[in-house]
Amino acid sequence: NENMSEIAAATNHRIIGIEPGAGLMELTSTAIEEYDLDDWTLVEGSSAAMVAELQKAYNNEEPIIITGWTPHWMFSSFDLKYLEDPKGSFGGAEDIHTVVRKGLEKDVPGAYKILDQFTWEPSDMEEVMVDIANGTDPTDAAENWVNANEVKVAEWTKGAQSGNGEQIKLVFVAWDSEIASTYVVGKVLQEHGYNVTLSQVEVGPMFAGVANGSADGMVGAWLPTTHQEYYNTYKNDFQDLGRNLHGTKNGLVVPKYVEINSIEDLQ
């Protein structure tokens, strides 16, 4: 396939990945095995570096293959498509769960209740992500969304006792989706009287921190597939509050001008 050899040469047989340890990196390694893509290298980096490479390639209409996920603002800023995944290496649509430390319910019941009642739609998360991608500070983007969605927020805080400055520490990885959700939930907790700290960490420590109680909670556990290993490692040591969002997607993503449609085309 002529297109494919041009694409392979132009991309240097590289798939632009994100943070080592991200579930998406593990899924991509599995896909490389399942589709026999021995010629291809998955490049480790960060979500921000991946987006920067995408931006650069896109501006020059050059081929690029990235590891991508939904919800993500990049789908509203660029014309992109997922490569078809006939073997299902990336799994299906998932949920994002809220997970808290054991004992939070007893220690800070109001904050626990808000975290337990937090739930929104992919389109909500995208609104916050787009605002941040357009240059708004995450704290301000969270405030904008909270102010514009009083009815939804009232459902989260319903019946939750107000705080008296109690400390709540949320941990998150600097994935655009989790920056959005964590700042929004942090804002709501803060407005309800809690003294909130948002702490950016690596993915392993995010799960470990909630499990060992050094953090109170997090809102970015992608299940059942993406974070399955972390989840299984720590599930007896934290409390899973269930899903806060339904309908995520993971996969290999290319700009629409790249003339391949399936992961099989990379073979």
Q: At 240, is the secondary structure helix, strand, or coil?
A: strand
Shortest Å, Cβ 68 to ligand PBE: 8
Q: 193 or 205: whose CB is closer to ligand PBE?
A: 205
Shortest Å, Cβ 257 to ligand PBE: 24
Strands (DSSP E) along 17-93, which ranges? Answer: 41-43, 66-70, 80-82
Q: Does 179 bind ligand PBE (CB under 6 A)?
A: no
Q: Which of these ranges, 19-27, 51-59, 113-121, 235-243, lies near ligand PBE under the rule CB under 6 A?
A: 19-27
Q: Does 175 bind ligand PBE (CB under 6 A)?
A: yes
Q: Does 74 bind ligand PBE (CB under 6 A)?
A: no
Among 189, 227, 250, 249, CA closest to 99: 227
Strands (DSSP E) along 1-93, which ranges? Answer: 14-16, 41-43, 66-70, 80-82
- Of 157, 177, 225, 244, the residue at the interface with ligand PBE (CB under 6 A) is 177
Number of residues that bind ligand PBE (CB under 6 A): 13
Shortest Å, Cβ 154 to ligand PBE: 27
Shortest Å, Cβ 124 to ligand PBE: 16
Q: What angle do CA 64, 53, 202 make, to 5 degrees?
A: 115
With beta carbons less than 8 A apart as the criterion, state whether 210 and 101 touch.
yes
Q: Which residues fall within 8 angstroms of residue 107, CB to CB, at 6 or more apart?
A: none
DSSP β-bridge partners for residue 100: 217, 239
With beta carbons less than 8 A apart as the criterion, state whether 185 and 160 touch.
no
Q: Which of these ranges, 107-115, 122-130, 173-181, 210-218, lies near ligand PBE under the rule CB under 6 A?
A: 173-181
Q: Does 71 bind ligand PBE (CB under 6 A)?
A: no
Which of the residues 215 through 234 are near ligand PBE (CB under 6 A)? 220, 222, 226
Q: Does 70 bind ligand PBE (CB under 6 A)?
A: no
Q: 89 or 190: whose CB is closer to ligand PBE?
A: 89
State how far the Cα of 70 lies from the Cα of 76, in Å rounded to an integer.
Answer: 11
Q: 160 or 223: whose CB is closer to ligand PBE?
A: 223
- Of 7, 22, 128, 252, the residue at the interface with ligand PBE (CB under 6 A) is 22
Q: Which tokens sit at 83? A: 């490569």
Q: What angle do CA 35, 41, 44 make, to 5 degrees?
A: 120
Q: Which residues fall within 8 angstroms of residue 75, CB to CB, at 6 or more apart?
A: none
Q: Which residues contribute to the site for ligand PBE (CB under 6 A)?
A: 18, 22-24, 69, 175, 177-178, 203, 220, 222, 226, 250
